[in-house]
Each structure stands twice: as C-alpha cells, then as structure tokens.
Amino acid sequence: MAYLLQRYPSSSLASRQIPLPVSTKATVGSLSCNNKQQFPKRFPRIPPKSLNFLLSGSLALSLSLTGVGFAEGKVGVNKPELLPKVFTTVIDVAGFLSEGQKNRIAQEIDALEKDTGYKLRVLAQNYPDTPGLAIKDYWNVDDNTIVFVADPTFGNILNFNVGASVDLDIPRSFWSRLAGKYGNMFYWREKGEDASINSAVTAISTCLREPVGANNCAEVK
C-alpha cells in the first residue's frame, strides 16, 4: 500500500552503500512487514511496505496509522488540536518556515498536483510536538500521496511516506539519495532546516514531473 523510508542519523549516505529491501509484505489496518534484508549495524532497518508514518521523528522507529506505538516505549501521538483550522498542504508546528516560504511551497504543491496528480504534503515538526496520526484523515492520505515529514530530532531531517501508486513510478533510490543530499545534519545545521525543506520540495517536484521510465529521477536536483 505504501512504504516508509526512514533516514539515517549520520552524515551523507554517499559515504556508505545501503542495500535496498528486496522482500516485503504488508497489510492495511494491522501492521505486517516482512523484510529479510539486513542493513549495516550502524543504520536502522527500513520497513519499506507498510502504511506507516514517521510522525514520531524517530529514525529507527515508526508510528503506525492504526495507533500502534514504538518498540522503545514511544507512544503514538494523535493531537488533532495542532492541525490548522483552515486546510493547508503545509503544516509547520516546529516554526522552521516563514509565512512566505510556506506560501511558496503550498503553491508549488498545488501546481504539482494539477500537473501530475501526485499529492505532496509537508509536515515540519519536533517530536513529540506533532499532530501525529491526525494528519491521515486531515490530508485524506491515499496511494497518490507523498507525506514529507521534516523532523531533525534524530539526525537526518528528511523522512517520507510514499503511496503505492507513487512507488510504481519513482525509484526508491531517489528518496535515499534525496535524504543523503539535503537531509544530513551537516547540511541542515549549516544552511538551516528551512533550506533542507525547500531544497527537498524542489527536488521532489522536479522528479515527479519527469517522464516515467528507466532513467527518471536519476539525479537529485
């Protein structure tokens, strides 16, 4: 249905080769993942085919949309009171973005959806200050939705939940390379969280507008 790409709490992914998962299994409603491929001990394991969100900000753990909590005692967060009263595709509860930046990103998202049908949604947070599970219904998340969670709590600020339809068109390696380039802590600490978010949105928009094929999204721009 969808897969979560969790990020790595160190420097750029370019320094090490990270194998992508090759065997997965998932069901909606109750979390069920079977991923046989192992990652180097330095990095957390990635469950690639589960309808999960990185709403916690944890790079090693995920928060299920069904309300399942975390393996290390972290509790699922559901705070609808943090959601804006007026619908928006960009939610910034962490204060990383200026009003002008939020408006520009929202305009880019609107144009992207009209041109491609893909639904990009951006949530900036610092766990546990997050609306959490409440964004699922607020944004009507479906197979065409990319939920981009910007949370620097555990190192890499870029985290993505990618719908199944998007997964068919966009190589999974794109999301890893995107996080490695603009999400590592050296980048956002030097240039700011807003720079990472803006750069990622631009790269995603460029990628999704490319014709689907063997070489689409081969570069993170």
Average pLDDT over residues 148-177: 93
Domain assignment present for 220: no
Domain assignment present for 29: yes
User: Are the CB atoms for 161 and 7 separated by under 8 Å?
Assistant: no
CA distances, 131 to each of 12, 80, 134, 156, 187 (Å): 29, 5, 6, 20, 26
**pLDDT confidence band for 214 (50 / 70 / 90):** confident
Domain assignment present for 218: no
Residue percentage of the chain with pLDDT more than 90: 57
Say how many domains are in the chain. Answer: 1
**pLDDT confidence band for 212 (50 / 70 / 90):** confident
CATH number at residue 197: 3.10.310.50
Domain assignment present for 113: yes
CA distances, 160 to each of 59, 92, 147, 191, 212 (Å): 11, 16, 6, 21, 20
Measured distance CA(92)–CA(95) in Å, rounded = 6
Average pLDDT over residues 174-178: 96
Structural domain range at position 116: 2-209
Average pLDDT over residues 80-86: 95
- Confidence (pLDDT) at 124: 97
Domain assignment present for 216: no
Domain assignment present for 215: no
pLDDT higher than 70, residue 210: yes
Q: What is the pLDDT of residues 101-155, one digit of tens each?
A: 999 999 999 999 999 999 999 999 998 899 999 999 999 999 999 999 999 988 8
Average pLDDT taken over every residue of the chain = 74
40 versus 138: the higher-pLDDT residue is 138
- Confidence (pLDDT) at 154: 83
**Can you give the pTM of this predicted structure?**
0.70
Average pLDDT over residues 94-103: 97
**pLDDT confidence band for 196 (50 / 70 / 90):** very high
Domain assignment present for 217: no
- Confidence (pLDDT) at 39: 36
